[in-house]
Amino acid sequence: MVTIRLDGLGAFHGARLVLSDVSTPIFRGGEVVAVIGPNAAGKSTLFKRIAGLLKGPGRVCLEGAAKGPDGICYMPQDTAADAVLTVYESILLARKQGSAWSVSDGDLALIDGILAALSISDLAFRNVGELSGGQRQVVSIAQTLAREPEILLMDEPTSALDLHRQVAVLTFMRGLARKHGIAVLIAIHDLNQALRFADKCIVIAEGRMVACGTPEEVVTPALLRDVYRVEARIERCSRSIGHVMVDGVAAETAATASIAA
């Protein structure tokens, strides 16, 4: 089984150390880990550092990955659109990235399966450049899956999706993690989706990890006040899943806001 653990991880943007001292317990294949935190906290930076796109101190301890570091796939936040390719071609290109350019029946069957699983078979021969933002985001997920990741880093993969597709994609990703033993780390702003779909949760704030545990352990009124600067409660629905109920901005922020007004 693949496992990943972060040991004192940090990252530089240029000469600036933007992220430091991120140490986690072991995350195992099959688990979904939500990475949460405010804007500019360092979530994307963390993913880029794990994926080897940024330099910095510390270690990414990977075990049991058949492809080694190549098993780590990063889906960026910005979904680049290559207008001249069809959806099918763009996914095939992603699959063939860094490998021999010969296409097997297995490659085509895998792509057909991904398109069907993500309910985008009807988009296969449309140009990527003419898709909506949400459609492009699902294509970007398909491109990442086509690389058959062992560790999957998804940077806000549902930010452009409607509610149905958010739930469908997150349900699918969790099933995929379980079925294929993939460790899936998802940076996400929707804390209710994190509470619903994640097995573990890490919180990044001001370039450091400030909490790690199950979503229920981590997403608390105290965390919401200290890290997100809102007054909020966690209420359980009839299915015992916690939901964040926001009452307003935290007092200190409210004072600042009224001064600013």
Ligand X SMILES: Nc1ncnc2c1ncn2[C@@H]1O[C@H](COP(=O)(O)OP(=O)(O)OP(=O)(O)O)[C@@H](O)[C@H]1O
Is residue 20 near ligand X by the rule CB under 6 A? Answer: no
Question: Could you say which residues in the range 75-114 bind ligand X, by CB under 6 A?
Answer: 77
Residue 133 sits at the vertex; the CA angle it makes with 131 and 136, to the nearest 5 degrees, is 60
- Mask 148-187, x = binds ligand X (CB under 6 A)? ----------------------------------------
Q: How many residues bind ligand X (CB under 6 A)?
A: 12
Select from 54, 17, 65, 31 the least CA-distant residue to 202. Answer: 31
The one among 15, 39, 105, 222 contacting ligand X by CB under 6 A: 39
Cβ atoms of 166 and 189 closer than 8 Å: no
- CA–CA distance, 154 with 157 (Å, rounded to integer): 6
Tokens linked to 209: 């990890």
Is residue 17 involved in binding ligand X (CB under 6 A)? no
Instruction: Name the H helices within the chain.
Output: 43-50, 87-96, 105-117, 133-145, 163-180, 191-197, 215-218, 221-226, 251-260
Interacting span for ligand X (CB under 6 A) from 20-28, 32-40, 100-108, 175-183: 32-40
The window from 24-32, 35-43, 178-186, 253-261 that contacts ligand X (CB under 6 A) reads 35-43
- Could you tell me which stretch among 36-44, 89-97, 175-183, 223-231 binds ligand X (CB under 6 A)? 36-44
Q: How far is the CB of 23 from ligand X (least distance, A)?
A: 18
Q: What's the closest the beta carbon of residue 92 comes to ligand X, in angstroms?
A: 29
Positive or negative: CA dihedral 215, 220, 226, 232: positive
Stretch that binds ligand X, among 42-50, 94-102, 132-140, 243-251 (CB under 6 A): 42-50
Of 173, 179, 184, 226, nearest to 74 (Cα)? 184
Classify each residue of 126-136 as buried b or exposed e, where b means 16 or more C-beta atoms within 10 Å of its C-beta.
Answer: ebbeebeebbb
Report the residue from 9, 18, 128, 201 that binds ligand X according to the rule CB under 6 A.
Answer: 18
In the complex, the residues that contact ligand X under the rule CB under 6 A are: 13-14, 18, 37, 39-45, 77
